[in-house]
Amino acid sequence: MVRLTVDEKEIEAEEGQNLLQVCLENGITVPHLCFLEGMENSPASCRLCFVEIEGMDCPVPSCQTVVHDGMVVNTQSPAVRHLQRSALQLLLSAHRVDCSDCPANKRCALQQLAKLLGIPLKVKHLESLAGEVDTRMGHPLLAYDAGRCVLCGRCLYACAKHQEHPLLTFVRRGFSTRVDFKGKTDPAELPCLACLACVEICPVSALGFAGKTLGAA
């Protein structure tokens, strides 16, 4: 057991646990997208779960920080909030904000994060980079909306967990990176029909049943 202080609150945790997990278990809200509870090795890619730790000169992602005894953590310092807002604004600038047409409306992770961090959904100072609706994916039954996707990778994680051979992957690079499907396209041979774990886990409804769950798309 180790004892640490988070936002002036004393908490206990098991040795070797990651800080984000510990915070979440103790009811301390830390924004995050790419991390899922119980995940062994977080990709640390969404860049939202920053916290400040006494003795370190800049904020660090809590999902990749192992707790240790005597650790003093601030989850809401100005530097932390600044970076989180900046990251969320970048995500929003590349996201098609058409909430009323979106099946994720009201349960959307971006809406919740914006509320938590106190920023509007429309980012004024950045031009919108959200692409046109593009639902093409090699998968015969899934539809993917790159204009909504935040590339958190949860779907890849879920797919890897539920399928012997994961069928979802990242393709292309840089700003063109997107989620794609690798595998046989013959519906009869698709092992993933019964699963749909990826659709379920998507925080922004970028994945859905083709033609059905993607709203206007």
Partner 1 sequence: MNFHPEKLPQERLAALAEDAKRRLAAKRRADLPRIIIGMATCGLAAGASETRAAFEQALAEQNLEALIIPVGCLGHCYAEPLVVIENPGFPPIAYHSVTPGKAKALVKSFLAEGDPLFEYVLAALEENDLLPSIADFPRFYLEQRVVMEKCGSIDPADLKEYLSRGGYAGLVRVLGLPPGEIVGVLSESGLRGRGGAGFPTGAKWELARKVEGSKKTVICNADEGDPGAYMDRTLLESNPHQLLEGLAICAYSVGAADAVVYVRAEYPLAVKTISRAIAQAEQANLLGKGILGANFDLEVKVFQGSGAFVCGEETALIESLEGKRGMPRFRPPYPVEHGLWGRPTVINNVKTLSTVPAIIEKGAQWFRTIGTPNSPGTAIFSVVGNVTRPGLVEIPMGTTLRTLIFEICGGIPRQKQFKAVQIGGPSGGCLPESLLDTPVDFDSLTRAGAMMGSGGLVVMDEESCMVNVARYFLDFTQNESCGKCTFCRIGTRHLLNILDRITKGEGREGDLELLETLGRDIKEGALCGLGKTAPNPILTSLKYFRSEYEAHIREKRCPSMMCRALTAYYIDPDKCARGCEACVGCCPVDAIFTAKGRKKAIDQGLCVKCGECVVSCPPEYDAVKRVSPAHLAPVVERPK
CB of 131 to partner 1, least distance (A): 12
**Residue 138 lies near partner 1 (rule: CB under 8 A):** no
Specify the stretch interacting with partner 1 by CB under 8 A; choose among 20-28, 42-50, 131-139, 159-167.
Answer: 42-50
CB of 50 to partner 1, least distance (A): 8
- Whole-number Å distance between alpha carbons of 197 and 82: 33
CB of 186 to partner 1, least distance (A): 25
Longest dimension (CA), the chain: 57
Tell me the DSSP string of the chain: -EEEEETTEEEEE-TT-BHHHHHHHTT-----SS--TT-SS----S---EEEETT-SS-EEGGG-B--TT-EEESS-HHHHHHHHHHHHHHHHTS---GGG-TTTTT-HHHHHHHHHT--SS-SSS-----------S-SSEEE-TTT-----HHHHHHHHH-SS--EEEES-GGG-EEEE-S---GGG-TTTTT-HHHHH-TT--EEETTTTTTT-
Residue closer to partner 1 by CB (options 82, 107) is: 82
**Residue 106 lies near partner 1 (rule: CB under 8 A):** no
Q: Which of 8, 10, 37, 127 binds partner 1 (CB under 8 A)?
A: 127
Q: How many residues sit in the footprint of partner 1 (CB under 8 A)?
A: 33
- Chain residues 65-104 in contact with partner 1, contact rule CB under 8 A: 82-83, 86-87, 90-91, 93-94
**Which residue carries 């936002």 as its tokens?**
7
CB of 204 to partner 1, least distance (A): 14
**CA-CA-CA-CA dihedral for 29, 32, 37, 39, to nearest 10:** -150
**Residue 177 lies near partner 1 (rule: CB under 8 A):** yes
Q: Which of 125, 132, 194, 216 binds partner 1 (CB under 8 A)?
A: 125
**Residue 173 lies near partner 1 (rule: CB under 8 A):** yes
**Residue 166 lies near partner 1 (rule: CB under 8 A):** no
Q: Which of 43, 138, 140, 183 binds partner 1 (CB under 8 A)?
A: 43
Tokens standing for 158? 């879920």
The binding site for partner 1 (CB under 8 A) comprises: 42-48, 50, 58-59, 61, 64, 82-83, 86-87, 90-91, 93-94, 125-127, 129, 151, 169-170, 172-177
